[in-house]
Structure 1
């Protein structure tokens, strides 16, 4: 528990947020209804935390229990009534609340696991146990991972509480931290249906082709990409999407380029799907080496890279392929020319 957030401290902070909201709404924070709400809020929170508190939590818990004890005196001046309430709390209220909390938290964990798994964020589920004990309307959980190219990816998932008290996954914010260069951050709300792998591709500058449900229930496809030029006031990049009617036929572009390269393996469906997911695809041309490509809907074409993943024009690749053919043609022309000269010399000798 030592490595976790102090739940008792968080419980008190959550109450202060509630108190601030009540004050802004009504201008009153010490009437009987507000005091009763505070008493119930802190008492139920203390029930949960008192089961297995850390040493730090015990200190805050002691303060919270002192506050609830004083509130109980204000709300129930009669000693006999207070004794009855304490007995009821110990024998009925606390066990009942803990049973209900265990049931709802287990169900909530299961539903969150399904939501996070869909978004390829199942690694976060082990961090949720203590987080779901809070009364906060919103919860953020952070993770930092190293990628294959030595860059780092920081992912901060957002959980939001519904009116029934259960938390739901509401998207995530991802930050790509390159080994050398400036980091880039973008928020991916749940309605964008972006996975972590797709987010990495987007943050690295490659667009993704996604299915989206329209207001009438129909499904349309559109390209989305991260706009690295225009940023929000807090320095985050924004996710932008193209119209479903945007004129970029990826399949047509692949076929056209494959034809010029005489490399029809590029027309496989797996290649197209990889490009739609924002991947950089590797391919090899015999005797010419390895190349890479990715989709570029903004310019309605494909981008190509050499074996070092440096940009290379498509024309230069085509020229490399045609170079042996040109050399063969030149040799053939030279041979004809030599034969022609030889023939003339032979005729001259006969004459």
Structure 2
């Protein structure tokens, strides 16, 4: 067994969010010398179960193995319904928690490379209503030039944590990973714990109350506040958070492939 290769793979597993729970099985499979290795595990995230199959392939010219991809299946709360399943390729560095967030319908901000190996950054979001080849969901991509500035969108809301630079940094990092994040905001003269998440498609922030019901931006900023592109669209307001975010809502703004990045190939994740 190539010990250096094994240690490299275990580091990849740790970074991807599997810690050391698969290390012993991986070592056993590598020692067997088989060409293809599949490791399976289940993760409990936010009270939900996600099954994961990880795929490794042996080099054709050496004993080294490569961690190529993992397939994540997020179980539906209704056991009669099919799980949401998508394959994530390791060249994009999506972690297990980010995969969960993507399958929940939220967006994740990633550093990517185009077909010419040029680096760039973009928000990725799965269209949970559309399937493409290999039974994967369609991946919508919002390039950094698309015009969504997360911090600017946050500062349009009366979020108490924005007064602290360290808390602001934590908040931005959490939202970029696709997390729903708790904050304190004032509504109708009272401070309230609310939850927020990034919505790059509409260049805005989704806001939910403690019961995870959508909250209109106008309710927070005042009744006379006019709706701008930084606010939650009316189509999304007043609906429970369990609305599938992949559902079509009005006429979506163009994605990268339709706007600023026409000449750039979209990566697969």
Structure 1 length-normalised TM = 0.55
How many residues were matched structurally? 215
Deviation of residue 152 (structure 1)? 0.4
Distance change >3 Å, CA 217–CA 183, structure 1 → 2 = closer
Q: Does 1:254 align with 2:151?
A: no
Q: Does 1:156 align with 2:53?
A: yes
* Partners of 1:188 and 1:239 within 8 A in 2: no
Distance change >3 Å, CA 277–CA 266, structure 1 → 2 = farther
Deviation of residue 135 (structure 1)? 4.4
Q: Aligned equivalents of 2:17 and 2:45: distance in 1?
A: 15
What pairs up with 1:125-274 in 2 under 5 angstroms? 125-149=23-47, 151-163=48-60, 164-180=62-78, 182-214=82-114, 218-232=118-132, 235-258=135-158, 264-265=162-163, 268-274=168-174
| Structure with the largest fraction of helix | 1
CA-to-aligned-CA distance 1:260-290 (integer Å, 9 cap, x gap)? x677448722211211111111112363421
Larger radius of gyration: 1
Match of 1:338 in 2: none
Unaligned runs of 5+ in 1: 1-103, 323-351
Deviation of residue 136 (structure 1)? 3.6
Q: Aligned equivalents of 2:5 and 2:169: distance in 1?
A: 39
Report SS of the residue matched to 1:242: strand
Q: Aligned equivalents of 1:154 and 1:238: distance in 2?
A: 20
CA-to-aligned-CA distance 1:166-188 (integer Å, 9 cap, x gap)? 21111211111132365211111
| Structure with the largest fraction of strand | 2
* Partners of 1:222 and 1:244 within 8 A in 2: yes
Match of 2:10 in 1: 113
Structure 1 runs (4+) deviating above 4 angstroms are: 214-218
What pairs up with 1:67-146 in 2 under 5 angstroms? 104-122=1-19, 123-146=21-44
* Partners of 2:124 and 2:139 within 8 A in 1: yes
* Partners of 2:86 and 2:135 within 8 A in 1: no
Distance change >3 Å, CA 153–CA 265, structure 1 → 2 = farther
Q: Aligned equivalents of 2:182 and 2:163: distance in 1?
A: 11
Unaligned runs of 5+ in 2: 226-269
Report SS of the residue matched to 2:156: helix
Distance change >3 Å, CA 130–CA 266, structure 1 → 2 = same
Report SS of the residue matched to 1:165: coil
Deviation of residue 112 (structure 1)? 1.4
CA-to-aligned-CA distance 1:80-114 (integer Å, 9 cap, x gap)? xxxxxxxxxxxxxxxxxxxxxxxx24343222112
Distance change >3 Å, CA 280–CA 128, structure 1 → 2 = same
Match of 2:211 in 1: 308
Distance change >3 Å, CA 182–CA 294, structure 1 → 2 = farther
Q: Aligned equivalents of 2:90 and 2:42: distance in 1?
A: 20
Deviation of residue 216 (structure 1)? 6.0
Q: Aligned equivalents of 1:208 and 1:120: distance in 2?
A: 16
Q: What is the RMSD computed on CA atoms of the aligned residues?
A: 2.6
Q: Aligned equivalents of 1:310 and 1:209: distance in 2?
A: 24
